[in-house]
Chain A
Amino acid sequence: MAAQLPDMTAATLTAGGQPPLPSLVSARALRWQKVSRALRLWVPAALLIALLFLCFVWPYIYSIPPGDSGSILDAALPPFSPGHWLGTDPNGVDIFSMLVYGGQVSFEISLAVTAFGMIVGGTIGLTAGYFGGWADSILSRVVDVLIAFPALVLVLAVAEVLQPSETHLIWALSVFSVPAFARVTRGATLTVRNLPFITASRLTGTSNWKIIFKHVLPNVIPGIVTFSLLGIGIIVILEGAVDFLGLGIQIPQPSWGAMIAKGQNVLTAEPQYVLIPSIVLLIFVMSLNLLGDALRERWGVR
């Protein structure tokens, strides 16, 4: 072996010039990796944008039938009927309109709950994680208690006592999102706060709040944002479940969960009543999860 080495070097040297480095990875593999990486981010993002457009912009551009009332003359039309391309329900309400208006409610509730959880839970998590000590002990115990509380039971209790409504639903579901965000933020803060640059910043005499906002927060935000995308998905499903149980958005205001609930009586005869909202819900939640995964991969969050 050792005797061959000088030979090889001589050969490469006498070959002269600089031969192009042969690529070890085929060009196709490289191109495919780039494309699939882009697809993983943009396909779910495009689906979400399309859903948002459908729910919030479409009804203002094109006039669609109302989502909460219909004519008995149009009752129980099958999909692809003229004027009602997804058909109507037994009360004659247009299914596409119900999807659009129900989607608005789902978006509003899930975004409000997530934003509330992010701000309140994030503040709790940052404070607990950064200061540690008794602040951490107290806040973490409160969060533990909230997490241990069965979310659905709490939501049902709130709906029972305070009347079901969109606002009450947001508050009730926030009880679930706040501790989740607090935990995630606290964990991320703990990892960041022990890094030397935080100590270095303390050593230059920077105040604690300045350190939290300028040094800790920018470093925990990627983790919180990816988590919030997964969180939105969970909230949408929870909201659907509450509607399904009849304690969320009240009929005749449309919602995806209520549509599924109404359709289950005729599941075998008219499966589209359950299938259509379920598929939309599936696309919505799956896009959120896939987008969350893609961002996590890009930002290098755990």
Chain B
Amino acid sequence: MSDALLEVEDLRVAFASGGREIRAVDGVSYQVEPGRTLAIIGESGSGKTVGCRAIMGLLPLGTAISGSARLHGTELIGLSDSQLRKHRGSDMAMVFQDPARSLNPTMRVGKQITEAIRTHRKVSKSDARDQAIELLRLVRIPAPERRFAEYPHQLSGGMRQRVVIAMALACRPKLLIADEATTALDVTTQAQIMELLLELQRDLGMALIFISHDLGLAASYADEVVVMYAGKVVEQAPAKRLFGAGGTVKMRYTRALLDAIPHLERAAHTELPVVTGRPPDPSMLPVGCSFAPRCLSAADDCAAKAPALTEHAPGHRWACWHPCENGGTA
């Protein structure tokens, strides 16, 4: 239990907007062990990014955050900006979606990495330079000495994302959060970056949380998967259990997402199933299950009372009154 690196318990984040309360994250719990990969999957607005930003202390002032997030037993929620600064970079780091805008266009990439190194460690300029080049080599950038002196606009998207990862790794964080880190890249680059992240994770023993809307990515790279919907975790299980041979997806929402992925073996010219409708307005969530209005198997009890996230099978939790039978492949 306590060998977890990051323990998030009952995290809740709420904003006030237009005189109404918006519950962006509503009671989320998970934990990540060192060297493991957790995928947080969900549609836009499901609270996956907000939850992680709350942990990093990146939400604007005036956001109500409750619950707990312990990194190595240190409570992060409620820390001031200056207290958090000690943990940021050295204990946890984050990689963002848009590599084009994650680097300062007016600064050479090498300078940006050395700056990240020198904020936490007292090292000389030339040592920092050597470390930065070493980092560039670590993220597989060819000719790192030359790239060191280049500006971001001289690099391709995949290359930039590698630089951003190098910056995040500058102080060897124990936890790396990749927020849609591969979404803006094309599919081959995406695979390279994911491979790189996993390799680095193995070498450095980091825990990796990657936030994505891509179930396929989670299936291929994650150890543990958390599926979020309307601010709540609706299903949580080891990736193997969900997507492995004879996968047993229980929650109807996860199933619907899986079905919406095009497959080669699907009969030609059949209509691709989609999840109809849109996620509920987070300021007025339904009383019952949030997914009920879009769920094909919704019954009366779904609208009446929200199902709780319960551990029905070892390591597998889901929140559904009418879970799929046999993985619901039918």
**Complex-state Cα separation, A205 to B116, whole angstroms:** 8
Tell which of A109-117, A118-126, A214-222 binds the partner. A214-222
Q: A196 contacts B93, CB within 8 Å?
A: no
Do residues A196 and B102 form an inter-chain contact, with CB atoms below 8 A?
Answer: yes
Other-chain residue from B61, B88, B104 in contact with A218 (beta carbon distance below 8 A): B104
Across-interface contacts of A195 in B (CB, < 8 A)? 101
Q: Which of B14-22, B127-135, B164-172, B228-236 contacts A (4 or more CB under 8 A)?
A: B164-172
> When the two chains form their complex, are residues A199 and B58 in contact, meaning their CB atoms are under 8 A apart?
yes
Q: Are A196 and B106 in contact (CB under 8 A)?
A: no
What 1/0 mask marks residues of chain B from 86 to 118 whose CB sits below 8 Å from any chain A CB?
Answer: 101110011011100111111100000001100
A 195-208 binary contact with B (CB < 8 Å = 1; else 0): 11101111111110
Residues of A within 8 A of B97 (CB): 196
* Residues of A close to B192: CB separation below 8 A: none
Given contacts A200-B167, A218-B104, is CB(A206)–CB(B96) below 8 Å?
Answer: no
Q: Mark A168-184, 1 if CB is under 8 A from B, else 0.
A: 00000000000000000
CB–CB A219/B105 < 8 A: yes
Question: Is the beta-carbon distance between A196 and B101 smaller than 8 angstroms?
Answer: yes
- Inter-chain CA distance A207–B103, complex, in Å, is 17
A215 shortest CB reach to chain B, Å:
5
A199 touches B96 (CB 8 A): yes
Kindly state the separation between the CA atoms of A19 and B115 in the bound complex, as whole angstroms.
50
Determine whether the beta carbon of B119 is less than 8 Å from that of A219.
Answer: no
Determine whether the beta carbon of B58 is less than 8 Å from that of A202.
yes
Contact of A215 among B86, B88, B104, B168 (CB under 8 A): B104
Q: Determine whether the beta carbon of A205 is less than 8 Å from that of B119.
A: yes
Whether B70 sits at the interface, judged by CB under 8 Å, is no
Residue of B101, B104, B116, B119 ringed by the most chain A CB atoms within 10 A: B104
Question: Interface size class for chain A?
Answer: 10 to 19
Contact A197-B88, Cβ < 8 Å, known A203-B58, A206-B115: no
Residues from chain A with a CB closer than 8 A to the CB of B106 are 218-219
Assembly CA distance A56 to B320 (angstroms): 82
**Residue A133 at the B interface, CB < 8 A?**
yes
**Quick check: is B197 within 8 A (CB to CB) of the other chain?**
no
**Which chain A residue shows the least CB distance to B96?**
A196
B255 close to chain A: CB less than 8 A: no
A-side contacts of B90, CB under 8 Å: 205
How far, in Å, is A118 (CB) from chain B's closest CB?
A: 18
**Is A218 a contact partner of B107 (Cβ separation < 8 A)?**
yes
Q: Which residues on the A side are within 8 Å of B119 (C-beta)?
A: 204-207, 210
Chain B residue contacts of A199, Cβ below 8 A:
58, 96
- Contact for A202 among B61, B88, B115, B120, CB less than 8 A: B88
Give CA–CA (A194, B90) in the complex, Å.
23
Question: Are A197 and B101 in touch, CB under 8 angstroms?
Answer: yes
Closest to B60 in A: A132
Q: Which B residues are CB-close (under 8 A) to A200?
A: 94, 96, 102-103, 164, 167-168
Question: Known: A203-B94, A205-B119, A206-B119. Contact between A219 and B104, CB under 8 A?
Answer: yes
- With a CB–CB cut-off of 8 A, which chain A residues contact B61? 133
Q: Are B96's CB and A204's CB within 8 A? A: no
Q: B240 within 8 Å of A by Cβ? A: no
Name the interface residues of B38-70: CB closer than 8 Å to any CB of A.
Answer: 56, 58, 61
- What residues of chain B lie closer than 8 Å to A197, measured between beta carbons? 101-104
Whether the pair A204, B116 counts as a contact (CB closer than 8 A) is yes
How near does chain A come to B27, taking the closest CB pair, in angstroms? 26
Interface residues as binary, B150-191 with A (CB distance below 8 Å gives 1, 0 otherwise): 000000000000001001101100000000000000000000
| 13 sample A-B contacts, Cβ–Cβ < 8 Å, listed by A number | A196-B97, A196-B102, A197-B102, A197-B104, A202-B58, A203-B88, A203-B168, A204-B88, A204-B167, A204-B168, A205-B85, A218-B104, A218-B106
Interface residues of A (CB under 8 A from B): 133, 195-197, 199-207, 210, 214-215, 218-219
Other contacts beyond A196-B97, A199-B58, A219-B104: 19, CB < 8 A: A195-B101, A197-B103, A200-B102, A201-B116, A203-B88, A203-B89, A203-B168, A204-B88, A204-B93, A204-B168, A204-B171, A205-B120, A207-B85, A207-B119, A210-B119, A214-B104, A215-B107, A218-B106, A219-B106
Across the A-B interface, the 10 shortest Cβ-Cβ residue pairs: A218-B106, A204-B89, A204-B116, A205-B89, A196-B102, A196-B96, A205-B85, A205-B88, A196-B101, A197-B104
